[in-house]
Amino acid sequence: MTRRSLLPILSGSARRWTMGGDFISYDRIPETTDQWIGAPAQLRQLDRLRWVVTEKIHGANFCLLADGRGVRCAKRKAILREGDAFFNYERVRVRYAAAAHALFADVAATIPGLARLYVYGELFGGAYPHPEVAAIEGVAPVQTGVYYAPGIEFCAFDLAVQRDGAAAREFLDFDAAIELLRGRGFFVAEPLLVGTLREALDYPLGFDSTIPARLGLPALAEPNPAEGVVLKPVKAFTLGEGDGQARPILKRKIAAFAEDDRFHRAEAWAEVPVDASPLGRLEWLVGA
């Protein structure tokens, strides 16, 4: 897709998007099972499921929202506006806007009444201290302590849908979501393990991040431990009913993440320049 052909999707995002309700943010992932295991019967339910383990990326929660007319972006709690200083997110939007737009059509073909598609994931990267990898001017780390890539990248890890007139969203099965995302060229959270709940809970921490190699980057000389892992059922599943519903999902982090300040040194980003010409702004956005 050419730069000019992206303009209708991007400008449509700003001019024609109708929210049709509040943005539904991605809930913070708990570090204990207390929120969703309250009785032995619930534990037996969870034991019967297949679970997937993925690497937890140390970054910033990010969402691409498509409604068939345009694509907007959001941080965890709010829709982002043009020029917002959020880790150069607009370059990610340019890179994936057409893919998110096409993905909406893919999902709408199988889900009647689709109003919104949420592509949830993580912005990450911004530094990679390797002698063979050049730094990118004007780019700073989204987070610190784990090195992923010199530029700002996006990893998609969940898809959710909202139907016409519905207040709630529905998550797609993990395996189906990843297949759809891969089909449209998204970088996705790949399974490290698929197995029982016990196997998922026992997955060893302390491994080096798998992300740089997946992006084609050479390994660092020093250890580059992943932040941790995320565990969830392969098939979409909720416990409880009504307001008491809970989605079983869990994160486990390495102990050093809480103890070592090198994981928490990210600095605020400056606002991006706004060009009067849409095409000129697009040229700037894809320039790095």
202-232 per-position pLDDT tens digit = 999 999 999 999 999 999 999 999 999 999 9
159 or 282, greater pLDDT: 159
Q: What angle do CA 55, 60, 65 make, to 5 degrees?
A: 100
What's the pLDDT at 21? 55
Q: Over the chain, what is the mean pLDDT?
A: 85
Q: What is the mean pLDDT of residues 130-147?
A: 95
CB 144 within 8 A of CB 263: yes
Examine the pLDDT at 13 and tell me if it is beyond 50: no
* pTM for this prediction: 0.84
What's the pLDDT at 277? 46
Place 39 in a pLDDT band, splitting at 50, 70 and 90: low
State how far the Cα of 192 lies from the Cα of 175, in Å rounded to an integer.
13
Would you give the end-to-end CA distance of the chain in angstroms? 17
What's the pLDDT at 104? 98
State how far the Cα of 64 lies from the Cα of 236, in Å rounded to an integer.
20
Judged on CB neighbours under 10 Å (0-12, 13-18, 19+), 55 is: buried
What's the pLDDT at 38? 65
In the chain, the domains with their CATH numbers are 3-11+32-265 (3.30.470.30)
What's the pLDDT at 37? 67
Tokens encoding 66: 């498509």
Under DSSP, the state recorded for 168 is S
Beta bridge partners of 116: 162
Q: Could you tell me what percent of the chain has a pLDDT over 90?
A: 68
Q: What is the mean pLDDT of residues 73-90?
A: 91
Q: What is the mean pLDDT of residues 64-76?
A: 96
Q: Sign of dihedral through CA atoms 139, 142, 144, 146?
A: negative
CB 152 within 8 A of CB 88: yes
Examine the pLDDT at 142 and tell me if it is beyond 70: yes
Place 259 in a pLDDT band, splitting at 50, 70 and 90: low
Kindly report, residue by residue over 161-193, the tens digit of the pLDDT.
Answer: 999 999 999 999 999 999 999 999 999 999 999
State how far the Cα of 249 lies from the Cα of 39, in Å rounded to an integer.
17
